[in-house]
């Protein structure tokens, strides 16, 4: 079951007592939670009329039935975080030992009907690190997990499961490209305002949007970095890699603490990965994999670069089943990625590259509590059989944390919703239960 996001309607704020708003929010939260039932129903004034135009009653009933089938009835609803005067995040506890967030926004005027609603990903009601680690251990295939408290000295490991096991990380590799850019900017070798033009050699395929922009369009390094991290734009990534050079990015792996760098060499551009994995000539891929490192570099330049790159090269199963995830990928352990986030934290503390830290925070990745973690940086990665979520978090007391988790299965696509829910629960545990 995918996380369900319901449309947001406009909120109109008027002055009222805080306690009255809280009472209304808690009452409406319980009423919304009650639609998760074998026979969903609700009072006529629960949902705003404009909201129901966007989210019809039939869809709301389907959502209630879907959650009820997976989680059972809601047994408890607790305030987790107040967002504004009229909105808050609650935690729902279910009969089948699962929890999920419920984000709610109300109209300002009576009867305070619901104008915004978000049901979070259900996950096991895990309450401590041993329970989280046990859940990772039960995942099919291979997984890793690490949570570090960062500081001036050696990081403190708060929890770990196979933290040194290197796994495929998908687009989380873009953290190393960002690191190379940070280094170049900090050293004065480049400026964020420097411009590159989009060209066919570095055009890739989605995710992202730049693959559809006209060739020759000028784009700054800052814009490429934003696209690469916030929406995982592959074409933005490949243009940055071309501007920096493959050698420069490869050198960054060891500098940022990747102890498994050799597995990722040569460090592929995304368009090269697409061409290799989608190649109709399986013999050519087998030939590439048998080559030594210099041979692979030459093969990429002389052979792969000439292969076509468009959607027609994909066969029907390319995006639904794992493909060479142990051979053609980018690799790192959870510990490697915690070190990478710590390096980025320190390298962007001040100076001309400091604004690149904020690029990490454009997309917070999951529903990370702003009360527990006012600042959250994120980069994830995925393809069939591969998932990675990596976070850099600053707590309300100023403490810094890195959290990274990955799940690989070469035999089957992995469950993104299950994984997201598990990582979400780990972040809740890290942040503690916010007080009312």
Number of separate domains in the chain: 2
What percentage of the chain carries pLDDT values higher than 70? Answer: 92
Residue 123 — pLDDT band, cuts 50, 70, 90?
A: confident
Residue 23 — pLDDT band, cuts 50, 70, 90?
A: confident
Same domain, 254 and 378: yes
Question: Which residue did the predictor score with more confidence, 12 or 331?
Answer: 331
Output the six-digit token pair for 178. 């960002």
Domain boundary among 97, 123, 149: 123
| CATH label of the domain that carries residue 312 | 3.40.710.10
Same domain, 49 and 169: no
Question: Which residue did the predictor score with more confidence, 312 or 282?
Answer: 282
Q: What pLDDT sits at residue 21?
A: 56
What pairing do the DSSP bridges indicate for beta strands 195-197 and 218-220?
antiparallel
* Helix, strand, or coil (residue 274): helix
The predicted model scores a pTM of: 0.86
Taking the C-alpha atoms of residue 57 and residue 312, their distance in angstroms, rounded to an integer, is: 40
Same domain, 253 and 239: yes
Residues contacting residue 24 through CB under 8 Å, at least 6 positions apart: 106, 112
Residue 205 · residue 234 · CB < 8 Å? yes
Q: What pLDDT sits at residue 200?
A: 96
Residue for token digits 């009820």? 68
Closest CA to 139 of 167, 159, 99: 167
What average pLDDT does the segment 335-361 reach? 98
Taking the C-alpha atoms of residue 142 and residue 409, their distance in angstroms, rounded to an integer, is: 6
Residue 220 · residue 195 · CB < 8 Å? yes
Taking the C-alpha atoms of residue 242 and residue 180, their distance in angstroms, rounded to an integer, is: 12
* Helix, strand, or coil (residue 37): coil
Residue 43 — pLDDT band, cuts 50, 70, 90?
A: very high
Same domain, 114 and 58: yes
Taking the C-alpha atoms of residue 236 and residue 229, their distance in angstroms, rounded to an integer, is: 9
Same domain, 301 and 408: yes
Task: Give the number of C-alpha atoms closer than 13 A to the C-alpha of residue 4, restricted to the C-beta side.
Answer: 18
pLDDT single digits (tens) 236-257: 999 999 999 999 999 999 999 9
Q: What pLDDT sits at residue 232?
A: 98
Q: What pLDDT sits at residue 434?
A: 38
| CATH label of the domain that carries residue 107 | 3.10.450
Q: What pLDDT sits at residue 318?
A: 67
Same domain, 109 and 240: no
Taking the C-alpha atoms of residue 428 and residue 372, their distance in angstroms, rounded to an integer, is: 9
Closest CA to 77 of 112, 101, 48: 101
Domain boundary among 123, 155, 172: 123
Residue for token digits 């592929």? 268
pLDDT single digits (tens) 262-280: 999 999 999 999 999 988 7
Arithmetic mean of pLDDT over the chain? 91
Same domain, 135 and 101: no
Closest CA to 375 of 431, 333, 435: 431
Output the six-digit token pair for 420. 């997201």
pLDDT single digits (tens) 373-423: 999 999 999 999 999 999 999 999 999 999 999 999 999 999 998 999 899
Please give the residue range of the domain that contains residue 225: 126-436
Residue 66 · residue 93 · CB < 8 Å? no
Domain boundary among 101, 123, 145: 123
What average pLDDT does the segment 9-16 reach? 31
Q: What pLDDT sits at residue 317?
A: 61
What average pLDDT does the segment 350-371 reach? 95
Give the DSSP per-residue string, 62-105.
Answer: HHHHHHHHHH-SEEEEEEEEEEETTEEEEEEEETTSEEEEEEEE
Q: What pLDDT sits at residue 22?
A: 65
What average pLDDT does the segment 196-204 reach? 97
Q: What pLDDT sits at residue 11?
A: 29
What average pLDDT does the segment 190-210 reach? 97
Give the DSSP per-residue string, 167-229.
Answer: EE-GGGGHHHHHHHHHHHHHTTS--TT-EEE--GGG---SSSSGGGSPTT-EEEHHHHHHHHH
Q: What pLDDT sits at residue 146?
A: 98
What 8-state DSSP symbol labels residue 7?
P
What average pLDDT does the segment 63-68 reach? 95
Give Cα separations from 431 to 133, 370, 388 (angstroms).
17, 10, 20
Same domain, 164 and 81: no
Same domain, 177 and 90: no
Same domain, 247 and 368: yes
3-state helix vs strand vs coil in the chain, percent to 5: 40, 20, 40
Residues contacting residue 302 through CB under 8 Å, at least 6 positions apart: none
Taking the C-alpha atoms of residue 129 and residue 134, their distance in angstroms, rounded to an integer, is: 9
Same domain, 90 and 158: no
**Is 20 a residue whose pLDDT tops 90?**
no
Taking the C-alpha atoms of residue 99 and residue 94, their distance in angstroms, rounded to an integer, is: 6
pLDDT single digits (tens) 79-122: 988 889 999 999 999 999 899 999 999 999 999 999 999 998 88
Taking the C-alpha atoms of residue 411 and residue 327, their distance in angstroms, rounded to an integer, is: 14
Taking the C-alpha atoms of residue 392 and residue 338, their distance in angstroms, rounded to an integer, is: 8
Same domain, 367 and 238: yes
Q: What pLDDT sits at residue 314?
A: 58
């Amino acid at each position: 079951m995918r996380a369900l996001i319901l449309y947001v309607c406009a909120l109109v704020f008027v002055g009222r007592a805080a306690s009255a708003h809280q009472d209304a929010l808690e009452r409406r939260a319980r009423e919304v939670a009650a639609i998760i039932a074998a026979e969903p129903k609700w009072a006529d004034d629960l949902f705003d009329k404009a909201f129901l135009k966007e989210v019809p009653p039939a869809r709301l009933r389907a959502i209630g039935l879907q959650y009820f089938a997976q989680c059972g009835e809601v047994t408890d609803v607790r305030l987790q975080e107040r967002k504004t005067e009229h909105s808050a995040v609650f935690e729902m506890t279910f009969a089948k030992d699962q929890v999920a967030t419920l984000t709610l926004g109300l109209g300002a005027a009576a009867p305070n009907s619901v104008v915004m609603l978000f049901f979070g990903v259900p996950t096991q009601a895990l309450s401590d690190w041993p329970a989280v680690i046990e859940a990772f251990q039960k995942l099919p295939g291979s997984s890793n997990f690490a949570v570090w408290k960062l500081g001036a000295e050696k990081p403190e490991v708060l929890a770990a499961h196979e933290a040194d096991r290197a796994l495929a990380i998908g687009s989380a590799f873009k953290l190393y490209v960002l690191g190379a850019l940070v280094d170049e900017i900090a050293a004065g070798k480049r400026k964020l305002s420097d411009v590159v033009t989009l060209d066919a050699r570095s055009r890739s395929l989605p995710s992202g949007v730049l693959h559809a922009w006209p060739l020759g369009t000028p784009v700054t390094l800052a814009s490429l970095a934003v696209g690469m991290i916030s929406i995982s734009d592959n074409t933005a990534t490949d243009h940055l890699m071309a501007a920096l050079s493959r050698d420069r990015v490869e050198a960054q792996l060891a500098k940022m603490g990747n102890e498994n760098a050799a597995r990722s060499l040569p460090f592929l551009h995304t368009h090269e990965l697409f061409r290799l994995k989608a190649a109709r000539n399986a013999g050519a891929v087998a030939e590439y994999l048998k080559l030594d490192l210099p041979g692979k570099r030459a093969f990429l330049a002389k052979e792969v670069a000439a292969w076509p790159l468009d959607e027609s090269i994909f066969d029907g199963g390319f995006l639904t089943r794992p493909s060479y995830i142990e051979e053609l990928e980018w690799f790192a352990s959870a510990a490697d990625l915690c070190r990478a986030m710590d390096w980025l934290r320190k390298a962007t503390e001040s100076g001309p590259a400091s604004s690149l830290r904020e690029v990490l925070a454009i997309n917070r990745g999951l529903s990370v509590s702003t009360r527990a973690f006012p600042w959250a940086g994120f980069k994830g990665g995925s393809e069939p059989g591969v998932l990675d979520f990596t976070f850099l978090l600053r707590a309300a007391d100023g403490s810094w944390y890195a959290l990274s988790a990955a799940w690989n299965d070469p035999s089957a696509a992995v469950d993104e919703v299950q994984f997201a829910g598990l990582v979400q629960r780990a972040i809740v545990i890290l942040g503690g239960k916010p007080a009312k």
